[in-house]
A and B are shown apart, each in its own frame.
Chain A
Amino acid sequence: MSPQVSAEVMRARTFRYTWWLAALAVIVVISSVRLYTGADRITAPGTLRAATIGACPILLAGLGGLWAERAGIVNIGLEGQMLLGTWGAAFFAYHYGPLVGVLGAAAMGLLGGLLHAIATVSFGVDHIISGVAINIVGLGAVGFLAKTTFDDLEGGGPRNLSGYSTPPEFTVPLIADGARSLADRHWFIISDVAGAIAGVTTRLSVLTVLAFVLVAVTAWVLWRTSFGLRLRSCGENPQAAETLGINVYRYKYVAVLISGAFAGLGGAYLAMVASSSFTVGQTGGRGYIGLAAMIFGNWRPSGVLTGSLMFGYTDGISLLSNSGTLVHALLLLVAILLAVFAVIKVRAAERTTGLVIAGLSLGAFVWFFSSDTVNASFTGMTPYVVTLFVLAVFSQRLRMPAADGKPYRRGGAG
């Protein structure tokens, strides 16, 4: 082993070690905030279950975005593909059962992806324009399809449908009950972790399991197989990929189709797990939030997961009773984390950024100590504010695929 390789391995290990340490530190801070504010519900099993259900559609959309962008195609049409997925799930589940429903949702999303692929890959349409068009077409198509297919059904109307079967749910025996009783004791750290475990293992839908498995599958396929390497090369430098004999068009097509199918699955999750009814336009902007989660996660599966969980948490928490007091408790958490970031930035000689963050942190502290509750309107903004914040502060650290969103024509390598 050459000295250079071993240095790289060492650095990777230190990197991983740092992340584990950071995650642990965040849990310690969360638990301390919980004990200090007495807002035990911030890590209660019910809250974390709501967070998981809120996170999964965002996660599936974000992973969809990741697939497309790793191959160099910006897929802002995720929202429209999710919408198509909600209809597919409802229609196929109503007539053929939940399994076909999930497959149907993926197929409908895939159709949306195909449209995007034809426009952007074959015809070189601007990715943003094609994506926005797909969102508009998706909403219109779903409205039309619902009117023509659901109006006369039992439990249906021109814009909605309920009464179809949904994928099975199960509670993991022993673990769920054990974790729940630990969570109810409100111990430092232990109860917070137990709350998360209980929240996830209680009435767990198979679609939730699928969503998390797809994170691992995505990471493995894109970073551990030659197929994934080729696909990513199309997003980094398609001209170079072409000179090496890679059929760039084909890889881009595959990526965008998978992207659409993932978004369709996100739609299925909304119509089958988060609720058991379909209504036109029920995605409510989650496709965009998925895209935000992907950017927040620096175009990495683990990052998309982190971003989705965070956004899903704010989504879920806003629907709890007296959510104002919970969000208020989280202000303290935000203030502390911002203060830590500020110190890190100042020590890394990024004085201006550090001072800006320190100012924000101070603002959050003042807000926390001068009020008892936060207006519920603020929780809805969280994903957008966080994304803008991350873009503003970490834009130097974010690295999107080099040829992401750039037009590519075959033979462009000359």
Chain B
Amino acid sequence: MRRLSTYGVAIATCGLILSACGTAADNDTDDTEAAPECDPVQIEGDAKVSLAYDVGGRGDQSFNDSAYAGLEKAVAQFGLTDVSEGEAGQDESEDIREERLRNFADSGHNVIVGVGFAYSEAVDTVAPEYPNVAFAVIDGFDPTEDDVNCNVAYLGFAENEGSFLVGAAAALQSETGTIGFVGGVNNTLIQKFEAGYAAGAEAVDPDIEILSTYIEESDPAGFGDPAGGQAAAEGQYGDGADIVFHAAGFSGTGVFDAAVAADKLAIGVDSDQFLTAGPEQAQHIITSMLKRVDTATFGFIESVVNGEPDQGFTTFTLADEGVGYSVSGGFLTPETIAQLEDYKAQIISGDIEVPTEP
């Protein structure tokens, strides 16, 4: 039986390798300004921008593509010449991310944007080694809050506010009284989407039933698992939901596939997914929760080009159009839109406070 136990060891090892990922401890971004003791970062020469993508990568028609759109805009506007991109792999470890950032810095790039909260810790480690490089982390948090890095900008979003509006839209247009939410990974960032979505739906209809599924508990692979997205959405449509909102990156394409197959409706995330999805899928996407990663990316590059790189925490909210909802495709009725604009005004004025935890 020795051979069998060798087997057991081999398989157990493989299991370990697979599960050895995801140290998902992220904090909410606070709307605080740059720490006062910081001097502006002085980059040397022209801005040379690098974008380090999250799992899912460019082509996800969602989060990463939105960052890329911001980069493209900056390239066009400022005539940037030296631009590079780096793709994250599934199950990659912290030091691989660090090494990617160091490679960018060592090759002369002085503006480095980590796309996604997963880069928070890597940037925190690498940034002190390159004081003349301006770093930014989208959705980022500072893991060592006592030890502030002056050359890092944390670009956060009030996802709960945008999600509130699409939640209200779902409740207003649902015919079955049941709606769904599919999250990529069960962490505090994605829970913000769920919390806002549920609050918005319940503001319209307190009795609405909201189904919620997360593809992965902690493994970031949940953002790159279309099969998981499809299975999760299919289950919710089967349980009576007629509109499903996803916050699952590339896995969202599976949610749209399920919507097409079940002839039900879906809500996109980050980008206006009516415009980016395939023609068949687009007919089932009634709106998207916009998270203007492109605006944030562009704004950061702009601040560097202008000689005063952003520092510290910035949160993009409904008030400054950092989050919102899309109307392309004409699926939202004029009454729904009027109602959403009303909610939007109430959130901006502070009459409605949107929760960040479910």
Chain A positions within 8 Å of B, measured between CB atoms, are 41, 44-47, 49-50, 53-54, 76, 79, 128, 139, 143, 147, 150-151, 155-163, 203, 270, 274-277, 279-282, 284-285, 288, 291-292, 295, 316, 319-323, 375-377, 380, 384, 387-388, 391, 395-396, 398, 400, 404-405
Report the contact-size class of chain B (Cβ under 8 Å from the partner): 35 or more
Q: Is the beta-carbon distance between A282 and B11 smaller than 8 angstroms?
A: no
* 14 examples of A-B residue contacts, CB within 8 angstroms: A150-B59, A157-B64, A159-B56, A275-B230, A279-B226, A284-B225, A285-B15, A319-B213, A320-B232, A320-B239, A321-B235, A321-B239, A398-B4, A405-B6
| 8 Å CB interface, B152-193 against A | 180, 186
Considering the complex, give the chain B residue whose CB is closest to the CB of A405.
B3
Residue of A nearest to B231 (CB): A319
Closest-CB distance, B114 to chain A (whole angstroms): 17
Cβ-closest chain B residue relative to A287:
B14
B38 contacts which chain A residues (CB < 8 A)?
A: none
**Which of B8, B236, B261, B278 is the one whose CB lies under 8 Å from A388?**
B8
Task: Note all chain A residues with C-beta closer than 8 A to B56.
Answer: 159-160, 279
Tell me, yes or no, whether B76 is within 8 Å of chain A by CB.
Answer: no
Report the minimum CB–CB distance from B60 to chain A (whole Å): 6
State which of B250-258, B264-272, B286-294 sits at the interface with chain A. B250-258
B217 & A281 in contact (Cβ 8 Å cutoff): no
Q: Least Cβ distance of B181 to chain A in Å? A: 9
Q: Inside 8 A of B239's CB, which chain A residues have their CB?
A: 41, 46, 320-321
Task: Report B-chain residues with C-beta under 8 Å of the C-beta of A277.
Answer: 226, 250, 253-254, 257
Interface residue stretch chosen among B42-50, B83-91, B314-322: B83-91
Question: CA–CA, A54 to B230, complex, Å?
Answer: 11
Let me know if A46 and B15 touch, CB within 8 A. no
Supposing A160-B56, A275-B226 touch, asked if A321 and B213 sit within 8 A by C-beta, the answer is yes
B226 touches A276 (CB 8 A): yes
Tell which of B7, B60, B64, B89 has the most Cβ of chain A within 10 Å.
B7
Contacts of A284 in B (CB 8 A): 18, 90, 221, 225
Q: Which residues of A contact B139 (CB under 8 A)?
A: none
> Is the CB–CB distance between A282 and B224 below 8 Å?
yes
**Residue B116 at the A interface, CB < 8 A?**
no
Q: Is B65 an interface residue (CB 8 A)?
A: yes
B58 at the interface (CB under 8 A from A): yes
Residues of chain A within 8 A (CB-CB) of B221 are: 281, 284
Shortest CB distance A374–B (Å): 12
* Distance from B1 Cβ to chain A, minimum over Cβ atoms (Å): 5
Please, which residues of chain B bring their CB within 8 A of the CB of A161?
59
Q: Which residue of B lies closest to A285 (CB)?
A: B18
- Check if B135 is an interface residue, CB within 8 A of chain A: no
16 more A-B contacts (CB under 8 A) besides A46-B238, A276-B254? A45-B238, A128-B10, A156-B59, A159-B58, A160-B60, A203-B261, A275-B257, A280-B57, A281-B89, A319-B213, A319-B232, A321-B212, A321-B232, A321-B239, A380-B216, A396-B1
Q: Is B34 located at the chain interface by the 8 A CB criterion? A: no
Measured CB to CB, the closest approach of chain A to B161, in angstroms, equals 24
Instruction: Report B241 CB to chain A, min CB distance, Å.
Output: 8
Given A281-B224, A319-B231: A158 in contact with B87 (beta carbons within 8 A): yes
A81 to chain B, nearest CB (A): 14
Quote the shortest CB–CB distance from B348 to chain A (angstroms).
32
Q: Across the interface, do B87 and A159 meet the contact criterion of CB distance under 8 Å? A: yes
| Cα-based distance from A85 to B198 in the complex (angstroms) | 39
Contacts A159-B58, A322-B211 given; indicate if A274 touches B90 (C-beta within 8 A): no
- B-chain residues with CB within 8 Å of residue A50 when the two chains form the complex: 231, 234-235
Query: Contact at B4–A400, with CB atoms within 8 Å?
Result: yes
Most chain B beta carbons < 10 A, residue from A47, A50, A203, A279: A279
Provide the residues of chain B in CB contact with A150, threshold 8 Å: 59
Closest to B17 in A: A285
Whether, in the assembled complex, B228 has its beta carbon less than 8 Å from a beta carbon of chain A, the answer is yes
In the complex, chain B residues whose CB is within 8 Å of the CB of A163: 278
A384 touches B60 (CB 8 A): no
